[in-house]
Amino acid sequence: MLAVATLVSAYVHAPMPAPRPAVSARLAASCMVAMATDVETPVIESSCGFDFVPLLTALQTGEFREADQLTRDGLITLAGPAAVQRGFVYWTEVRKLPEADMATMERIWRAYSGNKFGYCVQREAFNSKKVGRDFDKFFDRIGWKNAEGSLLRWLPEEKSDEFVYDVDKAVKGHLPLTSALRGTQLLVGLMEHPAWDREEFANP
């Protein structure tokens, strides 16, 4: 569990190559728009009127670092006023997160990452025979460790963030990130949320 103790946060994005000013920016934007239009918008449902538009837009445009932050913020909002006031979700609150909203969150993450990112994807890795619910092996499997075996660091400044937010470069299950600063119970709870018992999530 040494790795768990050193894991400060879980939120991801690799820096994009230095662009050649406007040309690269226009090409990148046009590619992301084209990619998004090729994906049918998943079913969006909420049992509490949660606004998924910001998260959906971030994922559609390939802004995975922003989407990761919006996901964390969304979980806090869905957990209720007490979570909003304290600024984080207790692991005991996870099972009470609305099933419809969690299902929507998973659908759009998977849809716009080509089934590469999502809590169900992480659950599959965590429960696999090679990992066997061992956190050290799990963090290695989903790319949360560096070549030396130390856990990556999440920092507010994008240039210092060690996680990978490029869907083509990140390994399967790398996102979304979950803080294990207060232990791994929150992460386990998210991977075992009742919403994942739905048939649509049977095969990540």
**What pLDDT is recorded for position 36?**
54
In the chain, domain spans: 2-16+61-201
Amino acid 43 reads: V
Q: Which helix (H) or strand (E) holds 150?
A: none
Output DSSP code: residue 144. -
**What pLDDT is recorded for position 142?**
98
Residues 2-16+61-201: name the CATH superfamily. Answer: Gun4-like (1.10.10.1770)
Q: Which of 115, 130, 86, 105 is nearest to 190 (CA)?
A: 105
In whole angstroms, give the CA distance from residue 145 to residue 41.
Answer: 33
Question: Any bridge partners for residue 151, and if so which?
Answer: 145
Residues in the chain: 204
**What pLDDT is recorded for position 17?**
37
Name the pLDDT band for 179 (thresholds 50, 70, 90): confident
Q: pTM of the full predicted structure? A: 0.82
Question: Tens digit of pLDDT for each residue in 58-105?
Answer: 999 999 999 999 999 999 999 999 999 999 999 999 999 999 999 999
Q: Which helix (H) or strand (E) holds 72?
A: helix 64-79
